[in-house]
Amino acid sequence: MMQRHVQALGRLKVGAMNKTEAAYAATLELRRRAGEVVWFKFEGLKFRLADNTFYTPDFAVMLASGALEAHEVKGHWEDDARAKIKVAADMYPMQFIAVQPLPKKAGGGWKIEEF
């Protein structure tokens, strides 16, 4: 009998972007070409919040000013994800930003929330 690797529904391999994250990466690339962003990396930072508790934002982003930001892309929020980004924002001296896609009928783009 051949064994298959089984993955939870809705979960991608580590390092693989979902459609929403890929769309946001395209937005960051446009901002990079416009000179607003000098660098970004998917899952480029990992923050220790407590023993055996970590938070990895979807994107590490360096702005043209040199400021480093952590961007979290969400289709919808789970309570633990919101708690983790709030804890990280309290612990680390950088801007934490959450983005959610806006529906096309609302004009598209991204809803931005700063922590």
pTM for the model stands at 0.86
Query: Which residues are within 8 A (CB) of 25 and not within 5 positions of it... i.e. 6 or more apart?
Result: 17, 40, 42, 59
pLDDT in tens, 27-59: 999 999 999 999 999 999 999 999 999 999 999
Tell me what pLDDT residue 11 has.
63
Other C-beta atoms closer than 10 Å to the C-beta of 23 total 14
**Domains of the chain as residue ranges with CATH:** 23-114 (3.40.1350)
10 — pLDDT class (breaks 50, 70, 90): low
Pair of tokens at residue 19: 């459609």
Yes or no: say if 37 and 30 are a contact pair by the CB < 8 Å rule.
no
Where does residue 105 fall: left (phi above 0), alpha (psi -120 to 50 degrees), or beta otherwise? alpha
pLDDT in tens, 82-112: 999 999 999 999 999 999 999 999 899 999 9
Other C-beta atoms closer than 10 Å to the C-beta of 58 total 22
